[in-house]
Structure formats: C-alpha cells, structure tokens
C-alpha cells in the first residue's frame, strides 16, 4: 500500500497544513480586496429611451450621475478626479452637436454649496469626488475635490455631510500631495 499526500500543503495521510491554508486564505482575501478597489474606479453608463435617460454607476454600485433631458440632449461627465484638477460636463444637443462644455470645479460653484443641500445637489454641482471619507464616530462623511486655485495653487475643496446626508459645511485647504514630504 502506498501512502498518499493530500490536503492543502500536503502532509502525509492527507492532513491539511494549517499554515499553508491560512496563507492561501489571506492571499485570496488580498486578491478580493484588490479587485474591489479596482472596481471603485470603473464606471458603466446605461441609457434608455434613445439616450433621454442616462445613468452612470461605479463598479461598486454607486450612482455617479443620472441625466434626463426631455429635449433629447445628453449630458456627459468627464471627471479628472481623483488625480486631476478638473471635472468637465459636456452637453450634446439633440442634433448631435456639442452645445456646452463646463468646468465644474470653480470658486463660483464652491460658493454655491450651502448648508442643507443634499448629496445629489452637490454631486450635480461639482461632479465626482477625488475621495470620500467616513467618520463613523461623528456620523459624518466628507467629500474632497482637488482643484487649482488661481490656476496654480493646488487645493482641496471639502464638503461635510451629516447623518441625514445634508451639507453641514465646506472648506478649502492645501492639497496634502503638494505639502513638503507629500503629506504621506
């Protein structure tokens, strides 16, 4: 009779090597986390009604934009976040020609953010964020956008939302990537 090597890690008699199993499980968990992180940056656009309604969602099933134009025009987001400094919105008329191109990350738009606004209003005004942070103990969420103030200074515009999803306040600060040492 011959003895078989079996189980994960292969010990004689088929007994599993627990250390090898643990390493494999940890590797699978790391791979899953990496795949989920990669999905965060992916988007999918879905249109119905001949393009009259458009929904943009991230791979993590977060809605980025919903556009409904009864006149047949279509609105497209061209965000440059999280690494860029701009968020553009392009409107294509019913005739297929571009009717507008707007940069959303402007000081005029930042000034329009007011306490009490909901997340969808802020998202429509400024476009996708560079990052979102959740502070569970304070029951707050902070959305950040990178932008260039006066065309040259790297800044962050931050909006803080309360538990009800409405704006509590906003602020402009230095972009941590531009601080000496990279802010890391």
Q: What is the mean pLDDT of each run of 10 residues along the chain (184 residues)?
A: 51 71 85 73 66 69 70 80 85 88 94 94 89 93 92 90 96 83 51
Task: Note the pTM of the prediction, 2 decimals.
Answer: 0.61
What confidence score (pLDDT) does residue 81 get? 76
Q: How far apart are CA 112 and CA 73, in angstroms?
A: 25
Residue (of 99, 80, 102, 98) closest to 89 by Cα position? 102
What confidence score (pLDDT) does residue 76 get? 79
CATH code at 42-178: 3.30.1450.10
For 57, 75, 113, the CA distances from 119, given in Å and listed in that order, are: 15, 19, 10
What confidence score (pLDDT) does residue 184 get? 47
What confidence score (pLDDT) does residue 34 get? 75
Q: How far apart are CA 27 and CA 120, in angstroms?
A: 38
What confidence score (pLDDT) does residue 20 get? 85
């Amino acid at each position: 009779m011959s003895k078989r090597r079996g189980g994960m890690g292969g010990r004689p008699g088929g007994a599993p090597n627990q250390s090898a199993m643990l390493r494999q499980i940890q590797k699978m968990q790391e791979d899953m986390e990496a795949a989920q992180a990669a999905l965060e940056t992916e988007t999918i656009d879905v249109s119905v009604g001949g393009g009259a309604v458009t929904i943009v969602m991230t791979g993590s099933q977060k809605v980025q934009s919903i556009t409904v134009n009864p006149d047949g025009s279509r609105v497209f987001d061209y965000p440059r976040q999280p690494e860029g400094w701009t968020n553009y919105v392009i409107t294509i008329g019913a005739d297929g020609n571009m009717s507008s191109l707007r940069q959303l990350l402007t000081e005029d738009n930042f000034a329009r953010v007011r306490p009490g606004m909901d997340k969808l209003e802020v998202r429509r005004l400024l476009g996708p964020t560079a990052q979102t942070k959740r502070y569970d103990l304070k029951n707050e969420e902070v959305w950040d956008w990178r932008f260039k103030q006066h065309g040259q200074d790297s800044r962050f515009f931050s909006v803080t939302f309360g538990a009800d999803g409405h704006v509590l306040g906003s602020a402009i600060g230095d972009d941590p990537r531009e601080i000496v040492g990279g802010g890391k």
